[in-house]
Every structure is written in structure tokens, then in C-alpha cells.
Amino acid sequence: MKELLYLKDDQLKDLIEKLFVTYRETFADSKKVLDGYSIGLAHHKVIHLLSMYQGISISELLKRLKVTKQSLNRVLKDLIKLEVIIFKKNDQDTRIKHIFLNEKGKKIFNEIFDLQKRRIYNALLNSSSEEVINFDNVLSKIING
């Protein structure tokens, strides 16, 4: 493992390229579904987070996406028009809105997830338990800087 501590720039560049390609291929799988609903990757990110964090507040969604209010507002307007999300006001503080996927939103999420799941599942299935755990740990360390 010590040799990994001395990665050369070319090795790091290769890793970064693999991350780009992994991202491209994983999200290319879902492009047909997104195109069918005339939505894009920004919409997919919101739908994914709404599936993971049902009832998330707009401010929390902004934090997770790290986008501007204007950017999020554009996406939310599209999703409202598509009739895939619903808002509920907070019982204690009516200024706070919570966002949920409705049945149509859940259907879109599942269509996309089923495609992505196949690619990821196959990769994990063809890896050892140790490789999967190490990969997850490395991803977490990249995310957390």
C-alpha cells in the first residue's frame, strides 16, 4: 500500500479521468429517461435528493446541491410544471416549505435508478468485499476533501 502514497501526477490524472468517465457513463444511462420528460441533469439531481430526503426544506436542498437560489428555483419551476413535486408548509414555521416527490416523481426516479443500479450493481458484484469497502472509503475521502 505504501507505493500508493507516492502516486505520480500521471497516475492522479488517470484517476481523475476515470472519475470523469465514470460520471459520464453512469449519467448517460439515464439520459433517455430524462430526455423523455424534457428535463436534464440538474432536475435529476433534485429528484435524486428528494427521493433520499423526503420532505427536505428548500434551504437544506440548497446546501446539499451547493447551487444558487435562482438555479434551484428554475429547476423547481420545471418540476412543478411537470407535476412531479409537492410542497408542504412546516406546521411550526409556515415560512419553511418541505418538498416531496409525488407518485409521478417517484416513477421518474425509479426509472432512472433502475438503469444506474444495473451498471453499479454489476461493478460491485464483480468486486471483492474488501474492494467495495475500500472504494467507498476512498470516495468518502474525496468528497470530504
Q: Distances in Å between the alpha carbon of 92 and those of 82, 85, 88, 89?
A: 29, 22, 12, 9
46 compared with 16, residue with greater pLDDT: 46
Q: Enumerate helices (H) and strands (E) in the chain, giving the number of each.
A: 7, 3
How far are the Cα atoms of 2, 41, 63, 82, 93 from residue 38, in angstroms, in the given order? Answer: 48, 11, 25, 9, 34
Q: Under a CB-based contact definition with an 8 Å cutoff, are residues 133 and 54 in contact? A: no
The domain segmentation of the chain, as residue ranges, is 10-143
Q: What is the pTM of this model?
A: 0.85
Q: Which CATH number fits domain 10-143: 3.90.190.20, 1.10.10.10, 3.30.70.270, 2.60.120.10?
A: 1.10.10.10
User: What proportion of the chain, given as a percentage, has pLDDT over 90?
Assistant: 72
Q: In this prediction, what percent of the chain has a pLDDT beyond 70? A: 96
Closest to 56 measured CA to CA, from 105, 97, 109, 86? 97
Asked if pLDDT for residue 1 goes beyond 70, the answer is no
